Amino acid sequence: MLYEKPETFRPQRADVLTVTPWLAPIIWDGSFNRNILNAQFHQIEVRVGLTVFAIKKYVMFLQKFIETAEQFFMVGHKVNYYVFTDRVGEIPNFTLAEGRRLVVLEVPAYKRWQDVTMRRMEMIRDFSVKKFVGEVDYLACVDVDMVFLDEVGVEILSNVFGALHPGFFEKQRREFTYERRPRSSAYIPYEKGDFYYAGGYFGGVIEEVVKLTNYCHHAMMADKAQNMEALWHDESYLNKYFLSYKPTKILSPEYIWNNYYGSPAVVKTKRFLGVDKDYQKVRF
């Protein structure tokens, strides 16, 4: 494989931060060479799990999600899709590329939608410990109301990673919608915080995903015991976790874009895009 030598005096992106003060790379288009990364991850025959929840009416998002993942997610690598659902009979059949399989995991549907999204932490933890640990090296845990529009590959992989929320990467600390009530386990004071991370995208090696999901689940249960629920549910607890346990890699908002936020110049590609939801159709 031939490629240009890295140039000490020519940063690949001069318009955005590409490394945090704790030396975690922030992944922006143009800042990496996918061929080099692919070669490295092929050498270790990396196995990647993609977890997604399709509970109740959200099964409707699965078809497009998986079809576009086949085009753009970890192309050429070993991939297990882990679909958590309460509607096993409504999961369509998919023809997948070689080395890829889809595993349906039957789980309960909670009554409140807030519990549907928050309980993902507990379920990912439990299945990581009893199943994923023997099957894949890394997990990416994402929302299902999304489609892939461009490559999402091994550049996302690291010990523990999160993604910048598309609505907040240009904002000041004070504007982050962290949980601000001191009594909550998700509390972050106004003078703290690095980034506002999206709840719909995190991952890492299995051991780290277990630590993250276990922490978030326990924090939620502690709040529940005192009749509290953080402002943005699992997202608030994830942000609290990442404040203490810094991610080792951060994905730019290219990886979890939503057209609600337009098309700023720094976002050169929209790799993974939120689907417009008709709330009348998906609400319960």
- Nearest CA to 102 among 125, 70, 124, 133? 70
Choose the one of ligand 4GW, Mn ion, none that binds residue 193, judging by a C-beta under 5 to 8 angstroms depending on kind. none
Point out the catalytic residue in the list 70, 155, 179, 235. Answer: 235
Phi, psi (deg, nearest 5) at residue 245? -115, 90
**Chain residues 133-152 in contact with Mn ion, contact rule CB under 5 A:** 143, 145
Q: What is the DSSP string of 179-193?
A: B--TTSTTB--TT--
Residue closer to Mn ion, measured from CB, 29 or 143: 143
Residue 47 in tokens: 């196995």
Q: Which is nearer to Mn ion, 154 or 156 (CB)?
A: 156
Active site residue 98: no
The single residue among 53, 168, 196, 257 that binds ligand 4GW, judged by CB under 6 A, is: 53
143 lines the binding site for ligand 4GW (CB under 6 A): yes
Residues touching Mn ion, count (CB under 5 A) = 3
Compute how many residues bind ligand 4GW; rule: CB under 6 A: 17
Q: Is 234 in the site for Mn ion (CB under 5 A)?
A: no
Q: Which of 79, 118, 144, 154 binds ligand 4GW (CB under 6 A)?
A: 144
Number of H helices, E strands in the chain: 7, 10
By CB under 6 A, name the one of 101, 112, 171, 283 that touches ligand 4GW: 283
Tokens representing 67?
């079809």
* CB 146 to Mn ion: min, Å: 7
225 torsion bin: left (phi>0), alpha (psi -120 to 50), beta (else):
alpha
C-alpha distances (whole Å) from 19 to each of 28, 41, 152 are 10, 21, 19
Packed helices 206-225 and 120-130: angle between N→C axes, nearest 10 degrees: 140
Q: Give first-to-last CA distance, the chain, whole Å.
A: 53
For ligand 4GW, the closer of residues 38 and 217 by Cβ is 217
Stretch that binds Mn ion, among 48-56, 165-173, 197-205, 260-268 (CB under 5 A): 197-205
Taking the complex as a whole, the smallest distance from the CB of residue 43 to ligand 4GW amounts, in Å, to: 33
What is the token pair recorded at 192? Answer: 């703290």
Site for ligand 4GW in 195-254 (CB under 6 A): 200
Catalogue the active-site residues.
235
